[in-house]
Structure 1
Amino acid sequence: MQPEQSPARPVGRGAKVRAAVHAATLAELVDKGYAALTVENVAQRAGVHKTTVYRRWKDRETLLADALAEHMAADIPVPDTGAVEDDLRALARSIVQTFTSPSGRAVLAAMFTGAAHLPEIAAARRRVFADRLARAEPVVTRAVERGELPRGVDPAEVLKTLAAPIYLRLLVTADPVDETTADHAVRVTLAAARAGAL
């Protein structure tokens, strides 16, 4: 005989509901994947009625897009160590740490495979990555001001070059991704930026 499950405790209104539903969406994504994600299961896990979810999000796709965007846009500390190599290393290692975690892997799978064809997910992906680039650009700007990188270097190109080998391994080759990957990306990026290629 299985123990009787107690119903989930009701969640308050507003921001608490939104946070609970987002957390439940990501948990369902990690546990079951995009194909098995349902509003009903998210609502149950969040401790709200499914009509509460449908009042805020019209369907599973808009709910997922909102939860992914919120998760990906979580405040990532932008390092300011006084040295561009250390700052870029911290950024690269944070990408590795984020996307090699179970929730990070589930987010990547949803954003680039399972739900990638949905316009809502594509729009959320573009917003999130544009926001991340914009928030990290001061790392490069400060390095130029300190004379560590040449004037005219494009901060967005530096950051894309930094992230590219990590995402290639995560999304295309499935090669191992660790701090060594991050550190190599930093060396390649700095060499390219200092040579005037970016």
Structure 2
Amino acid sequence: MRPEVRMTAPGSARPGGRTARVREAVRAATLAELAEKGFEGLTVEGVALRSGVHKTTVYRRWGGVEGLAADALDLASGEPWPIPDTGTIEGDLRALARLVVTSFADPEIGPVSRAFISAAVSNPPTATALHAFFAARHRQSATLVTRAVERGELPQGTDGAEVVRVAIAPLYYRMFITGEPVDETIADRAADAALAAARAAIFTT
């Protein structure tokens, strides 16, 4: 079950209509506020001021900061993810793992991503929205495993989403649990470990 977001459901408003423009303005403001202040500093008043949307409208449609964060994640989960296509599963998994590393190092994207993950630890609605976001990303990324199976690089029945999870999980563990450094070498190592398990049919269903 996704957290309640008091907002017109995506697709129910006229494309390009006022509801869509308001939602995008509020979402952009939410992300900017998260980047600057983190989840702890996120407020309806701050988002309203930055977006130009009256705070009573924000309260009515989103309910509060939990709704703002959940809706921003909901919108992001439907956006396309740049799936690597290097021609080999080894290259694709390495590129995907490196993309995670570079995303968190990005001065704009990194702080927002960290804010969402930090909030999810203690905020159940945000955690639910973040889980849905990651599930969508895993489904999209599983395409690279599907291609590998079709090329004969991996066994039939390999669970693509699980391969992706195993490839990137060590990176999140280092960044958010142990605080160890993460770079391209670590990313490649995580990808290669997931690939070795996939080739051994560990992830077949």
TM-score by length of 2: 0.82
1:152 is matched with 157
Worse-superposed segment, 116-125 or 42-51? 116-125
- Matches of residues 48-67 of structure 1 in structure 2 within 5 Å? 48-67=53-72
Q: Percent identity?
A: 53
Q: Is the 8 A contact 1:29 1:106 kept in 2?
A: yes
Paired AA for residue 198 in structure 2: A
Paired AA for residue 30 in structure 1: A
Secondary structure of the corresponding residue to residue 24 of structure 2: helix
1:91 is matched with 96
Is 1:117 the counterpart of 2:122? The answer is yes
Task: Identify which of 14, 21, 25 aligns with 1:16.
Answer: 21
Structure index of larger Rg: 1
Shift of 1:42: 0.8
- Matches of residues 169-180 of structure 1 in structure 2 within 5 Å? 169-180=174-185
1:168 is matched with 173
Q: State how far apart, in whole Å, the 2-side matches of 1:181 and 1:104 are.
A: 20
Q: Which consecutive unaligned segments of at least 5 residues does structure 1 have?
A: 1-11
Secondary structure of the corresponding residue to residue 14 of structure 1: helix
Q: Is the 8 A contact 2:26 2:47 kept in 1?
A: yes
Paired AA for residue 132 in structure 2: R
Worse-superposed segment, 47-56 or 17-26? 47-56
Aligned length: 187
Secondary structure of the corresponding residue to residue 116 of structure 1: helix
Q: State how far apart, in whole Å, the 2-side matches of 1:129 and 1:83 are.
A: 24
Q: State how far apart, in whole Å, the 1-side matches of 2:74 and 2:185 are.
A: 28
Task: Identify which of 181, 189, 193 aligns with 1:188.
Answer: 193
Shift of 1:50: 0.8
Shift of 1:72: 5.2
Aligned alpha-carbon RMSD (Å)? 2.0
Q: State how far apart, in whole Å, the 2-side matches of 1:130 and 1:115 are.
A: 15
Q: Which consecutive unaligned segments of at least 5 residues does structure 2 have?
A: 1-16
Q: Is the 8 A contact 1:69 1:128 kept in 2?
A: yes
Deviations 1:56-88 (A, max 9, x none): 211111111111333455321222332111211
Shift of 1:173: 1.3
Deviations 1:88-146 (A, max 9, x none): 12211221122222444433443333353323212101211111111111211111111
